[in-house]
């Protein structure tokens, strides 16, 4: 299995493809990441890839696996990433 692409490899690849310096590409990626973090609460869409959304989870009952005791898991907010259909089709192939 191939190794996952690291941040350094991604920056190197984008710099080569765009003709920008590695420093410029790094700055763009960092700003993009910062923007995604700030806007995630309103949902942040990356066209053709997917969307970052904040979802509220309800309180629920769970079980302690060691003791088997029932516990209450409180409600909380979590960040989820929903993959776009175009991305699924490109990666997995059409059915």
Arch. (CATH architecture) of 44-95: Irregular (4.10)
Q: Which residues contact 8 (CB under 8 A, 6 or more apart)?
A: none
- Residue 55: predicted pLDDT: 94
pTM, rounded to two decimals: 0.77
- Residue 18: predicted pLDDT: 95
Per-residue pLDDT of the chain in tens (95 residues, 90 and over written 9): 788 999 999 999 999 999 999 999 999 999 999 999 999 989 999 999 999 999 999 999 999 999 999 999 999 999 999 999 999 999 998 86
Torsion angle (degrees, nearest 10) of CA 66, 69, 74, 75: 90
């Amino acid at each position: 299995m191939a190794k996952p692409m690291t941040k350094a490899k991604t920056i190197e690849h984008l710099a080569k493809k765009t003709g920008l310096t590695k420093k410029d590409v790094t700055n763009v990626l960092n700003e993009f990441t910062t923007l995604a973090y700030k806007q995630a609460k309103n949902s942040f869409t990356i066209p053709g890839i997917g969307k970052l959304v904040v979802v509220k989870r309800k309180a629920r009952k769970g079980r302690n696996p060691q003791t088997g005791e029932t516990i209450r898991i409180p409600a909380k907010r979590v960040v989820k990433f929903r993959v776009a259909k175009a991305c699924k089709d490109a990666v997995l192939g059409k059915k």
